[in-house]
């Protein structure tokens, strides 16, 4: 999301780092470029102006001007200021009983999906959430929430069709939640294309009745300059306690994240980074500042992987690898594990300097959809063939190719690569060099390279590219 802003900031800071002595002129020139980059990223004008002014004042301090590496000092000052603008420290939800969360925002921001994501997250934390459908205007809004609730296995209170009294719905939902033993109630409310009096009046009445511990504004990260007025209107009406940014994985320029927090003074508590119901992350200002500056976010990367990878399954696969028992069943499990991690670009984007590396990758290098072709080949094998790949002779390979919609050549390449990989795993000396091989030639290198370029054929290490 912040790629264009990160690129512009990197260029400005690179110019400063190359200067042996910092003066007021080159600081002013660099900060002017940074201000333009912030405005192009849809950061509200007043926010950009204040941020630059504070960085400039700090940059002109004697400690910076006389330091050995003044350029790096200024980068650190900007990083600190960016963290402050984004909110400083992570602010958790207030879930003291009665824990009621009111979700507000415009149509299309993703309130209903975010409500389900939040319910799933709270459930994993040991809470007992209840989703409440309070959007009585949008066609199929109630049905959508019911469907999403089923996907995350969370109970939902849905009003009868034709119901228009949102206070009555809320009252009945509270009674229902008490009977069901729910510890957190999440109210999904109606939105509009634009803020209007009817919407605000209904929210004020509902807010007054519920007295929620949290009123979260769900805002599309691509909202741009309008984000400030939207956040201000909702805050003045119902007193929002926090913000949830959605579609942070899209092409939005990122200004909304900087602007809303600074203008409203309310923390960004969560961010949605994908369409899957497990893709809601806690918003950490310092981590986001690092991402904007191209420094990556290794902590979030590790948390994401840990949340989606079954440790027992991973350890079992590793043990089978070490014992030389790794077969196509294990390989299938590994592919599913990779797919569960979501888009590779989003995950690897948390690595420091990845934006620079990404530009050098071949087209389609991060497209995990190629895994589907390999998966189809493996699924076309019988259980016996997956467990004993050595029995897959010509006639079996023809059947597998026909069943998977691939060619004999593709099936042959997969089986050959797999055999070479198993051979390497049985050799302790080669196992020690596996990480090195992943970056170079050989079968493991080919597998990693297979993520890019032509998935079936082309030049690679010895044996051609791995077909996925």
187/199 Cα distance (integer angstroms): 15
* Higher-pLDDT residue of 315, 403: 403
Tell me how far CA of residue 178 lies from CA of 99, 156, 175, 208, in angstroms.
12, 13, 5, 20
8/343 Cα distance (integer angstroms): 25
Residue with tokens 């996925």: 468
On whether 183 is known to bind a ligand per the annotation, the reply is no
On whether 83 is known to bind a ligand per the annotation, the reply is no
pLDDT of the residue at 241:
94
On whether 248 is known to bind a ligand per the annotation, the reply is yes
Asked if the model's pLDDT at residue 420 lies above 70, the reply is yes
Tell me how far CA of residue 432 lies from CA of 199, 315, 355, 420, 428, in angstroms.
63, 17, 30, 16, 7
Residue range 431-456: mean pLDDT, rounded: 39
On whether 403 is known to bind a ligand per the annotation, the reply is no
Lowest-pLDDT range, 106-110, 121-125, 151-155, 311-315? Answer: 311-315
358/345 Cα distance (integer angstroms): 9
- On average, the pLDDT of the chain sits at 76
- pLDDT category, 357, cuts 50, 70, 90? low
Q: What are the phi and psi torsion angles at 312 (to 5°)?
A: -65, -45
CATH of 311-449, one of 1.10.260.30, 1.10.1610.10, 3.40.50.920, 1.20.1560.10: 1.10.260.30
Lowest-pLDDT range, 91-95, 177-181, 432-436? Answer: 432-436
414/253 Cα distance (integer angstroms): 41
Model pLDDT for residues 187-229, shown as the tens digit of each residue: 999 887 777 788 888 899 999 999 999 999 998 877 766 777 8
On whether 111 is known to bind a ligand per the annotation, the reply is yes
pLDDT of the residue at 455:
32
Is 45 within 8 Å of 39 (Cβ atoms)?
yes
Tell me how far CA of residue 215 lies from CA of 211, 238, 245, 258, in angstroms.
9, 8, 14, 20
208/100 Cα distance (integer angstroms): 12
Is 34 within 8 Å of 83 (Cβ atoms)?
no
On whether 112 is known to bind a ligand per the annotation, the reply is yes
Give Rg (Cα) of the chain. 26
Instruction: Tell me which range, 280-289, 311-320, 378-387, is most confidently predicted by mean pLDDT.
Output: 378-387
pLDDT of the residue at 448:
38
On whether 439 is known to bind a ligand per the annotation, the reply is no
DSSP H or E segment with residue 303: helix 298-308
* Fold observed for domain 3-86: 1.20.120
Instruction: Tell me which range, 4-18, 137-151, 313-327, is most confidently predicted by mean pLDDT.
Output: 137-151
On whether 105 is known to bind a ligand per the annotation, the reply is yes
On whether 316 is known to bind a ligand per the annotation, the reply is no
Residue range 90-107: mean pLDDT, rounded: 90
On whether 278 is known to bind a ligand per the annotation, the reply is no
pLDDT of the residue at 433:
54
On whether 108 is known to bind a ligand per the annotation, the reply is yes
Q: Which CATH architecture has domain 99-295?
A: 3-Layer(aba) Sandwich (3.40)
pLDDT of the residue at 30:
78
On whether 224 is known to bind a ligand per the annotation, the reply is no
For the chain, which residues make up each domain, given as ranges? 3-86, 99-295, 311-449
pTM over 0.85: no
Q: What are the phi and psi torsion angles at 209 (to 5°)?
A: -70, -45
Residue with tokens 């190359």: 18
Beta strand 280-282 pairing with 268-272? antiparallel
Lowest-pLDDT range, 106-115, 230-239, 271-280, 323-332? Answer: 323-332
On whether 110 is known to bind a ligand per the annotation, the reply is yes
- pLDDT category, 279, cuts 50, 70, 90? confident
């Amino acid at each position: 999301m912040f790629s264009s802003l990160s690129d512009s900031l990197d260029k400005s800071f690179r110019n400063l780092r190359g200067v042996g002595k910092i003066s007021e002129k080159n600081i002013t020139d660099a900060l002017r470029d940074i201000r333009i980059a912030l405005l192009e990223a849809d950061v509200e004008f007043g926010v950009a102006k204040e941020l630059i002014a504070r960085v400039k004042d700090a940059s002109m301090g004697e400690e910076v001007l006389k330091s050995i590496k003044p350029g790096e000092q200024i980068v650190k000052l900007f990083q600190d200021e960016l963290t402050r603008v984004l909110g400083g420290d992570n602010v958790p939800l207030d879930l003291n009983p009665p824990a009621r969360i009111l979700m507000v925002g415009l149509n299309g921001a993703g309130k209903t999906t975010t409500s389900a994501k939040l319910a799933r997250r709270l459930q994993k934390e040991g809470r007992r959430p209840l989703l409440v459908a309070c959007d009585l205007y949008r066609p199929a809004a109630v049905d959508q929430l019911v469907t999403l609730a089923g996907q995350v296995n969370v109970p939902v209170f849905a009003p009868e069709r034709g119901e228009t009294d949102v206070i009555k719905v809320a009252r009945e939902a509270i009674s229902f939640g008490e009977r069901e033993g729910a510890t957190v109630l999440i109210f999904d409310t109606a939105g509009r294309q634009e803020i209007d009096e009817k919407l605000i009046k209904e929210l004020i009445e509902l807010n007054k009745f519920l007295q929620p511990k949290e009123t979260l504004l769900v805002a599309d990260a691509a909202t741009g300059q309008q984000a400030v007025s939207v956040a201000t209107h909702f805050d003045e009406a119902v007193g929002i306690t926090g913000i949830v940014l959605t579609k942070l994985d899209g092409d939005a320029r990122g200004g909304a994240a900087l602007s809303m927090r600074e203008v409203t003074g309310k923390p960004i508590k969560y961010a949605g980074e994908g369409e899957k119901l497990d893709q809601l992350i806690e918003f950490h200002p310092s981590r986001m500042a690092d991402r904007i500056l191209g420094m990556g976010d290794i902590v979030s990367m590790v948390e994401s992987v840990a949340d989606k990878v079954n440790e027992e399954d991973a350890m079992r696969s590793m043990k089978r690898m070490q014992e030389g028992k790794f077969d196509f069943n294990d390989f299938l499990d590994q592919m599913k594990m990779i797919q569960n991690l979501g888009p590779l670009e989003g995950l690897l984007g948390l690595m420091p300097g990845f934006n620079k590396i990404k530009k050098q990758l071949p087209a389609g290098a991060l497209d995990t959809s190629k895994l589907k072709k390999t998966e189809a080949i493996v699924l076309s094998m019988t259980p016996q063939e997956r467990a004993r790949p050595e029995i897959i002779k010509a006639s079996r390979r023809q059947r597998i190719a026909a069943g998977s919609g691939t060619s004999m050549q593709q099936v042959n390449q997969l089986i050959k690569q797999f055999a070479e990989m198993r051979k390497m795993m049985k050799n302790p000396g080669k196992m020690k060099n596996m990480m090195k091989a992943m970056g170079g030639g050989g079968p493991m290198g080919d597998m990693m390279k297979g993520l890019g370029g032509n998935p079936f054929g082309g030049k690679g290490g010895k044996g051609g590219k791995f077909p996925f």
